Amino acid sequence: MPEDEQFEVQTHTPVDVDPAPAILPEAISELPKPRGIAPIWHTLVLVLAILGYSVWGAIGAQSGSTNPIAPPSGAAHAAAAGTDHVRLIRYALTGALELAIVLWIAFGLRLRKVPFRTLFGAWPKGLNGYTMEILISAAFWVSSMIILLVCALSWLLVQTQIYQHETAKQSAPSSQSSPSNEKPKSPEQQQSELVNQLTQLAPANGIEIAAWGFLCLIVGFSEEIIFRGYMQSQAIALLRNTPIAVILTAIVFGAAHGYQGVRGIFLIAIFGSLFGIITLMRKNLLPGMIAHSWHDFATGVALALIRSSHLLEHLPPAPK
């Protein structure tokens, strides 16, 4: 082919290709809208129910309510040598509530014809797969405890500074204190009161330890399905922003533990964000379920040891 004809073909080839059409504003509205794994109203009902129950538990913990599910307040329910049937009833009601929420989630998925098993992610196969997930869950738990310890110490430092500032203002000569004004409780005293409340849920003997262990398995299984399997997946699908979805889910997870106070909500929200990250990294719920169940069980046993050693009785009382 002559050079002039070759040049002519090359110069005309791009002209024959149609340019990509621009996206018109009216076409944007026709793009597919975010579609979650369940209806939005279904998720809103679940979130409101969780927050409402959390507020109820927080009020009950402060007022000494006999809420059979929320932790009791005060030391009236101190450990006894025999089995505490009220404590076992609390375990049973808590487990039943967790499973009822899982059934609600299954109902929401059914409305969108989403298989329930998809919440679990890519489940491991074979002994090696399960062993790997167990080892990863153990490493995750240890790393999480280090992070939470740093966060807890940081919170304590800030809280101590605020407490010292408030006590300094009250003790100033120019300040007028009324008889009804009580000195603020120190951070250590606030924490000891919270631990004293939480110890009332801890098991006291072999039967209660077995029941507590079974409850921890139910809670670890259920709450990972609720928050990481369902709520985090729903947020990612609707928001199309994974970091924000993880943060929002962690906030709801922390707020669900209102009976543990503001400090507890903050630390549990941090813990929830770590659970969300490990779920995304492993693409399944198993490491989170194992770490969650083990953490709850170990915490309950630690609280039981604190109660049996009467360690809290040696702390100084709150100033009046």
* Average pLDDT of the segment spanning 137-159: 95
Whether 8 has a pLDDT exceeding 90, the answer reads no
Q: How confident is the model at residue 112 (pLDDT cuts 50, 70, 90)?
A: very high
When the pLDDT of each residue in the chain is averaged and rounded to a whole number, the result is 81
Average pLDDT of the segment spanning 235-242: 95
Q: Which residues are within 8 A (CB) of 66 and not within 5 positions of it... i.e. 6 or more apart?
A: 60, 72
The band of 317, judged by pLDDT with boundaries at 50, 70 and 90, is low
CB < 8 Å & 24+ apart, contacts of 153-161: 155/263, 155/266, 155/267, 156/187, 159/187, 159/263, 160/186, 160/187
Nearest-angstrom CA–CA distance, 101 and 105: 6
Alpha-helical (H) ranges within the chain are 3-12, 25-28, 40-63, 85-111, 126-171, 187-198, 206-223, 232-239, 242-255, 261-282, 286-308
- As given in the structure block, the two tokens for residue 192 are 């000891």
Q: Is 186's pLDDT higher than 60?
A: yes
What is the arithmetic mean of pLDDT over 129-157? 96
Are residues 187 and 161 in contact, defined by beta-carbon separation less than 8 angstroms? Answer: no
Split at pLDDT 50, 70, 90, the class of 261 is confident
| Banded pLDDT at 161 (limits 50, 70, 90) | confident
Task: Give residue-wise pLDDT tens across range 198-224.
Answer: 777 888 888 999 999 999 999 999 999
135, pLDDT greater than 60: yes
pLDDT at 282 over 80: yes
Amino acid at 267: L
Do the beta carbons of residue 100 and residue 226 sit within 8 Å? no
Nearest to 96 by CA among 215, 258, 253: 215
The total of other beta-carbon atoms located within 10 Å of residue 179's CB is 5
Top pLDDT among 76 and 128 is at: 128
CA dihedral angle for residue 26, residue 30, residue 32, residue 34, rounded to 10 degrees = 60
Q: What is the CA radius of gyration of the chain?
A: 27
Asked whether residue 176 carries a pLDDT value surpassing 80, the answer given is no
- For helices 261-282 and 187-198, angle between their N-to-C axes, nearest 10 degrees: 70
Mean pLDDT of 268-287: 97
Nearest 5°: the CA angle 58, 194, 296 is: 85
Q: Strand pairing partners for 284?
A: 121
Lowest model confidence (mean pLDDT) among 64-68, 138-142, 145-149: 64-68
What integer is the mean pLDDT of 276-305? Answer: 95
Better pLDDT: 97 or 170: 97
Highest mean pLDDT among 58-72, 137-151, 293-307: 137-151
pTM assigned to the model? 0.80
Joined tokens for residue 34: 């975010």
Q: What is the pLDDT of residue 28?
A: 35
Q: Which residues of 9-39 are buried (b: 16+ CB within 10 A; e: fewer)?
A: eeeeeeeeeeeeeeeeeeeeeeeeeeebbbe
What is the mean predicted confidence (pLDDT) over 228-236? 97
Best CA proximity match to 216, nearest among 121, 150, 105, 303 = 303
Taking the C-alpha atoms of 290, 295, 298 and 302 in order, what is their torsion angle to the nearest 10 degrees? 180
Q: Is 43 helix (H, G, I), strand (E, B) or coil?
A: helix
